Amino acid sequence: MKRPINFMNQLTEHIIWNIRLRCFLDGGECISEETAVSSEKCTLGKWMHSEGLSKYSHVHGIKELEGVHDQMHKQVRQIIVDKNSGKKAEAEAGLIILHKISDKVIEILTELDRYFDKGN
């Protein structure tokens, strides 16, 4: 089966967002809530809600990715709210939580890439 989306590109975009968020917390970049909080507006979310869930829900990891991806966006929103409210310590603590969620997103994307690499 042809890869429905380039999972490694999605993994790279995910890592880049983590770096951008770190820069935001350090005062080096401005990220608005609207930019980061919708799990349906990023590339992965658009794919999941357009065809990913409808065509590939039978593939192990797709439904889990939806939940973890949504959780990640909610955590990003909280970090942005905390930082913008002057709650730097809470934002930093939120970043630690986000890293755990992020590790799971990376794990699932890697597993899905391997699944489709095998021609499934």
CATH of the domain at 85: 1.20.120.30
* CB neighbour list of residue 69: distance below 8 Å, 6 or more residues apart: 39, 44, 45, 48, 105
Q: Which of 103, 87, 105, 95 is nearest to 20 (CA)?
A: 95
Looking at residues 103-110, what average pLDDT do you find?
96
Q: Is residue 68 part of a domain?
A: yes
For 68-84, write each residue's pLDDT tens digit: 999 999 999 999 999 99
Question: Poorest-confidence range of 37-41, 61-65, 78-82, 87-91?
Answer: 37-41
CA 51 – CA 54 distance, rounded (Å): 5
Q: What is the pLDDT of residue 118?
A: 85
For 6-58, write each residue's pLDDT tens digit: 999 999 998 988 898 999 999 887 777 776 767 888 889 999 999 999 999 99
Helix or strand run (H / E) with residue 3: none
Position 108, amino acid: I
User: Domain span at residue 81?
Assistant: 7-117
Q: What is the pLDDT of residue 3?
A: 79
Residue 67 has pLDDT above 90, yes or no: yes
> Is 94 in contact with 82 (CB distance < 8 Å)?
yes
Burial of 1 (0-12, 13-18, 19+ CB in 10 A): exposed
Q: Is residue 90 part of a domain?
A: yes
* CB neighbour list of residue 78: distance below 8 Å, 6 or more residues apart: 94
Q: What is the pTM of this model?
A: 0.88
Q: Is residue 1 part of a domain?
A: no
Q: What is the pLDDT of residue 1?
A: 60
Q: Is residue 96 part of a domain?
A: yes
Q: Is residue 29 part of a domain?
A: yes
Domains contained in the chain, number: 1
